[in-house]
């Protein structure tokens, strides 16, 4: 159908992450996009978040300032990017596009997407060994990297198990690096990943 908007019914976003609400149409000859707006409905109140018209782009709600954007140069893509998702961002978002035809009549289309923002615990981390693997020649440079997923920010801690079975904290970075491995560096290492 002419100038229909396509998107999805529901988007799950990760708390503190970012998500894109798709709103796409096929540009049609003789129709010019006049106004593009995004609004959100929460607790039976609807508020305009974003509006693009002849005067430029405008973000209306302070809580979305510097967090929402719509691509500038790709005609037909009215998708809304929301960054640093907060729990209160959950709601029903409506994309509305108004076109003007050559005969000066206006056509309006709308598409609504439900957004659910969820907190995701950090997963059990996996350890990625450097290119040389876990058996490494003396003097070589190598690294171990700790990787987990979940709601950012995720913090990492590297430990080495001492002969007495205690944990010695080595680093608060995701990557543990040795510039020149020595025999004394052999041992048992582990990492922890956590988020809020």
pLDDT in tens, 130-179: 988 889 999 999 999 999 988 888 999 999 998 898 999 999 999 999 99
Of residues 196 and 80, which shows the higher confidence score?
80
Each residue's pLDDT tens digit, 61-86: 999 999 999 999 888 999 999 999 99
Beta-bridge partners for 70: 80
Which CATH number covers residue 39?
2.60.40.10
Looking at the 3D structure of the chain, how many domains does it have? 2
Specify the pTM.
0.69
- State the Cα–Cα distance between residues 60 and 165, nearest whole angstrom: 57
How many percent of the chain have pLDDT more than 70? Answer: 99
Question: Which tokens sit at 97?
Answer: 């596009």
Say yes or no to pLDDT of 1 above 70.
Answer: no
Of residues 42 and 117, which shows the higher confidence score?
117
Say yes or no to pLDDT of 57 above 90.
Answer: yes
Q: Are residues 96 and 132 in the same domain?
A: no
Domain that holds residue 144: 126-194
Of the candidates 118, 153, 184, which is a domain's last residue?
Answer: 118
Q: Are residues 106 and 84 in the same domain?
A: yes
Q: Are residues 24 and 111 in the same domain?
A: yes
Q: Are residues 80 and 57 in the same domain?
A: yes
Say how many Å lie between the first and final Cα of the chain, rounded.
46
Q: CB within 8 A of 163, min separation 6: which ones?
A: none
Q: Are residues 110 and 132 in the same domain?
A: no
Q: Are residues 111 and 133 in the same domain?
A: no
């Amino acid at each position: 159908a002419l100038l229909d908007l396509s998107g999805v019914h529901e988007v799950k976003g990760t708390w503190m992450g970012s998500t894109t609400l798709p709103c796409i149409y096929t540009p049609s000859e003789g129709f010019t996009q006049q106004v593009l707006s995004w609004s959100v409905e929460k607790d039976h109140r609807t508020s305009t978040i974003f509006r693009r018209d002849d005067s430029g782009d405008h973000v209306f709600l302070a809580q979305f300032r510097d967090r929402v954007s719509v691509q500038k140069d790709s005609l037909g893509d009215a998708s809304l990017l929301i960054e640093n998702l907060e729990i209160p961002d959950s709601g029903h978002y409506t994309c509305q596009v108004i076109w003007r035809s050559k005969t000066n009549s206006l056509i309006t289309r709308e598409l609504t997407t439900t957004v659910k923002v969820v907190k995701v615990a950090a997963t059990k981390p996996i350890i990625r060994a450097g290119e040389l693997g876990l058996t490494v020649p003396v003097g070589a440079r190598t690294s171990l990297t700790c990787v987990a997923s979940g709601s950012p920010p995720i913090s990492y801690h590297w430990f080495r198990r001492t002969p007495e079975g205690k944990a010695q904290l080595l680093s608060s970075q995701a990557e543990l690096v040795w510039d020149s491995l020595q025999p004394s560096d052999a041992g048992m290492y582990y990492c922890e990943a956590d988020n809020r």
